[in-house]
Amino acid sequence: METQALTPFQNIAALATKYAFDLVGAVIILVIGWLLASWAERGTRRGLARLTHIDPTLKPLLASIVRAVILVFVAIAVLAQFGVQVASVIAVLGAAGVAIALALQGTLSNVAAGVMLLALRPFRVGEFIDAGAISGVTVTGTVEIIGLFTTEIRTAQGLYLSTPNAQLWNRPIKNYSRLPTRRLDLTVSFSGGELDTAIGALRELVEGDPRVRKEPPPDVLVTAIADGTVTLALRCWAARADHPALLHDLHNAVRARLSAAGIAMPGAEPAIHGIAWSDEDRAP
């Protein structure tokens, strides 16, 4: 009876002896793998911190991916230590990955688009962009956050706008903050007065403003003459930050300058067209 009572304990002891070395090896692999994953993550963060051309939002993600990949291999090595068929485990993980990818196809497309936006950077945080109309909503404003799933934008009216990354990635983006200079265009129509006088007055106006760049030089062009009405196009270049204020000031100064030069029909004033005061005109 005692022999039969001790049999279960003997079986446990035999199993413990059999798997003791496997268990110790698995623990060692797990500890070393965990430490290696942590070191690799910290090293990746430090290495990416020295690279200025990679977006700061993308750096923690890349470091976390390095850690996750190492931990996956550690888990497979631990299972192999206990005699589990690694090939079957990899096959199951692969099938599960495919099923998850199919179920989250839309979400993963936003993640992929977010990674591409962070890597190629068609726009950055703080820049003013215009992506046109997406699902009936005009996507125009200052970029606040570029996430893995969505991009958050603050419109010129102070509204919060969240846009899926996949929709931003698959369309042209106008970035009003990327280049240092912008061209300003005014279309001026008037009747009566000398054409050369009008051109000279407008040219003197823009050349006398210190915000107007000398290169490329400002220009005043005749675009149409019809039914006694002359249409001029005033074009000049300015720094991006000066563009909104300069547009506003020229809008007021052109009218006054031409009127002072006598460029107007009796009882009428020169007409200034082409000023829509849209969000892009106010863009920094």
- Kindly state whether residues 87 and 12 are assigned to the same domain: yes
- Say if residue 170 is in the same domain as residue 216: no
- Rounded distance between C-alpha atoms, residue 134 and residue 164, angstroms: 10
Rounded distance between C-alpha atoms, residue 21 and residue 16, angstroms? 9
Question: Which domain CATH number covers 161?
Answer: 2.30.30.60
Give the range of the structural domain holding residue 238, as residue numbers without chain letter: 181-282
Of residues 187, 182, 119, the one with CA closest to residue 148 = 119
In a domain, 69, yes or no: yes
Closest by CA to 147, choosing from 57, 227, 72, is 57
Inside any domain, residue 230: yes
The answer to pTM > 0.75 is no
Q: Where are the alpha helices (DSSP H) in 129-176?
A: 165-169
Give a yes or no: residue 258 inside a domain. yes
**pLDDT string in tens for the chain (284-residue length):** 444 444 665 566 665 666 666 677 778 888 888 888 889 888 888 887 887 766 666 677 778 888 888 888 888 887 777 776 667 667 766 776 666 665 555 667 888 888 888 888 899 888 999 998 888 888 999 999 888 788 999 998 889 999 999 889 888 999 998 899 999 888 888 876 678 888 888 888 898 889 999 988 999 988 888 877 888 888 999 998 888 888 888 888 888 888 888 776 434 444 554 443 445 555 66
Alpha-carbon span 1 to 110, nearest angstrom: 68
Which token pair is 103? 């179920």
Total domains in the fold of the chain: 3
